[in-house]
Amino acid sequence: MSAGAGKTARLPEDDGPTAAEEVLIPPPLPLRTELSRLEIERYARQLVLPEAGVRGQLLLSACSVLVVGCGGLGCPLAQYLAAAGVGRLGLVDHDVVELSNLHRQVLHRESRLGRPKARSAAAALRELNSAVEVVPYELALGRDTALELVRAYDLVADCSDNVPTPYLVNDACVLAGRPLVSASALRLEGQLAVYGYRGGPCYRCLFPKPPPPETVTNCADGGVLGVVPGILGSLQALEVLKIAAGIGTSLSQAMLVFDALEGGFRRIKLRPRNPNCAVCGDNPSVTALQDYELFCGSSATDKCRSLCLLRNDERVSVDEYKTILDSEVPHVLVDVRPPVEVDICSLPQAIFVPLNKLQAKDEGSLRLLGQRICEARQMSNENKAFPVYVVCKLGNDSQKAVKILQGLSYPGLGLISVKDIRGGLMAWATKINPEFPQY
């Protein structure tokens, strides 16, 4: 295996300041001819496997892997690769360790809250195996850095949790001629595949167009059981080790799908490489990296997304709603979150009508809403449209609910003025009541 020649790029040192500094993009690792006594002792249980043996271990020690994302997938992946003796691990992540990460991102610790994830993961891996070279890259992978970094490593593992990054990493891998091991996990399921390897399809062959931004859910929005990315990240590490050591059959022609509730796996045969693919086809139109956030219409982040579906005059800030509340202006507050989120926290004055009930025009939910509006309207002497405010976690679903209510004609609702609360309950917790739970 080969990698790019040694050069420098603007990346931060592990224990240096947070500002970007010049650090080395490492040169290729040498392919050694023998193992030391300590290596034989450390990797003994792998060495006795006929499929691996000394040759496989030497190949692992000469292999470098770029890990994109040090979160729920990247942590178990990097942990097992370091434990197995992969020669070099590059860790890419621009985020910091937060309390909500710890139920699934197992390399991080409470003592490292607020520390860059790349540095936190690197510190844990060095404690696990000091013989493995770990290079943290505290940056958001973009078109200016991706190709150079990918070329400096033999294999790439995409452990991101957003839409643009898989397209970016895939295109960089195709242009650099590197295999891509990609996994994803959400709620209670996940999937895994190897792209651009041994004639198999690339990511764009299967997904030439990104999904509409409003249909995308990530772990911050949809939740995830911590062990699910642990399982997928471990399987991802297995695929990397098989390719690096030259053993077994990779998932280059199939996708592995995991269902945690049923405890089962399905293997789905993938379509072959598309000769008309924009990046790996016979006549590619993508010959350089693009603006992938523009291409996907969403940000390359695992944070909760922010939609903008309403005009400014159809929205109020949490500060404005607090003034309305304190002034005791008659109104109705509708919380459109699902029941599982309402159980976590809520505002006492809210009535609960889940968004899916509004979308389905559920009779019982609409009757409850009409009744509450009718009761509240009796407290107001004004004849103008009665104010209804809609809230959710972040101010995304509430905008969808406002759109529905604006076009709804239902007995008892009467003339209403519907607005959503910008930023939702998490903005309320941040700006109005710091004791209000954030989730």
Q: What is the pLDDT of residue 219?
A: 87
User: Is 104 among the annotated ligand-binding positions?
Assistant: yes
**Residue 243's domain is classified under what CATH number?**
3.40.50.720
Look at residue 35 and tell me if it is in a domain: no
Alpha-carbon span 365 to 359, nearest angstrom: 11
277 is in an annotated binding site: yes
Q: Is 54 a domain residue?
A: no
Inside any domain, residue 151: yes
Helices (H), 345-423: 355-359, 363-377, 397-406
pLDDT of residue 21: 42
- Active-site hit among 75, 159, 173, 392: 392
pLDDT in the model for residue 311: 96
* Residue of 239, 271, 284, 313 whose CA lies nearest to 81: 239
- Do 212 and 173 belong to one domain? yes
Phi, then psi, of 325 in degrees rounded to 5: -65, -45
User: Do 318 and 225 share a structural domain?
Assistant: no
* Domain tally, the chain: 2
Is 6 assigned a ligand-binding role in the annotation? no
Q: Is residue 40 part of a domain?
A: no
Q: What is the pLDDT of residue 15?
A: 46
Q: Which pLDDT does position 420 carry in this prediction? A: 97
The residues pairing with 51 across neighbouring beta strands, listed in sequence order, are: none
Task: Verify that 267 and 318 share a domain, yes or no.
Answer: no
Q: Say if residue 323 is in the same domain as residue 213.
A: no
Answer whether residue 235 is part of any domain. yes
Both 143 and 84 in one domain: the answer is yes
User: Is residue 93 marked as binding?
Assistant: yes
Query: Is position 107 annotated in a ligand binding site?
Result: no
Sign for the pseudo-dihedral over CA of 408, 411, 415, 418: negative
219 is an active site residue: yes
The predicted structure's pLDDT at residue 383: 75
* Residues present in the chain in total: 439
Same domain, 348 and 222: no
210 shares a domain with 163: yes
CA separation for the pair 45, 62 (Å, rounded): 19
Q: Domain check: are 247 and 351 in the same one?
A: no
Does residue 162 have a known ligand-binding role?
A: yes
Among 265, 296, 327, the domain boundary falls at 296
72 belongs to an annotated ligand binding site: yes
Q: How far apart are CA 185 and CA 159, in angstroms?
A: 9
Q: Is 307 annotated as a binding residue?
A: no
Cβ 250 vs Cβ 198: under 8 Å: yes
182 is in an annotated binding site: no
The answer to whether 158 is a known ligand-binding residue is no
CATH number at residue 416: 3.40.250.10
Residue 387 is classified by DSSP as: E
The whole-angstrom separation of Cα 404 and Cα 63 is 54
- 204 and 267 together in one domain: yes
Q: Is 205 annotated as a binding residue?
A: yes
pLDDT in 10s for each residue of the chain, 439 residues: 333 334 433 333 344 333 334 446 899 999 999 999 999 999 999 999 999 999 999 999 999 999 999 999 999 999 999 999 999 999 999 999 999 999 999 999 999 999 999 999 999 999 999 999 999 999 999 999 999 999 999 999 999 999 999 999 999 999 999 999 999 999 999 999 999 999 999 999 999 999 998 788 888 888 999 999 999 999 999 999 999 999 999 999 999 999 999 999 999 999 999 999 999 999 999 999 999 999 998 888 877 667 889 999 999 999 999 999 999 999 999 999 999 999 999 999 999 999 999 999 999 999 999 999 999 988 877 778 999 999 999 999 999 999 999 988 777 677 899 999 999 999 999 999 999 999 9
100 in a structural domain: yes
Domain boundary among 244, 262, 296: 296
Domain that holds residue 191: 7-30+63-296
Asked whether residue 55 is assigned to any structural domain, the reply reads no
User: Residues 251, 332: one domain?
Assistant: no
Q: Are residues 277 and 344 in the same domain?
A: no
> Do 395 and 286 share a structural domain?
no
Q: Is 296 a known active-site residue?
A: no
- Last residue of some domain: 243, 272, 296? 296
In a domain, 108, yes or no: yes
Please tell me which residue in 63, 70, 219, 296 is annotated as part of the active site: 219
Q: How far apart are CA 436 and CA 439, in angstroms?
A: 10
pLDDT at 412: 67
Annotated binding-site residue? 102: yes
The Cβ-side half-sphere exposure at 85, using a 13 Å CA radius, reads 24
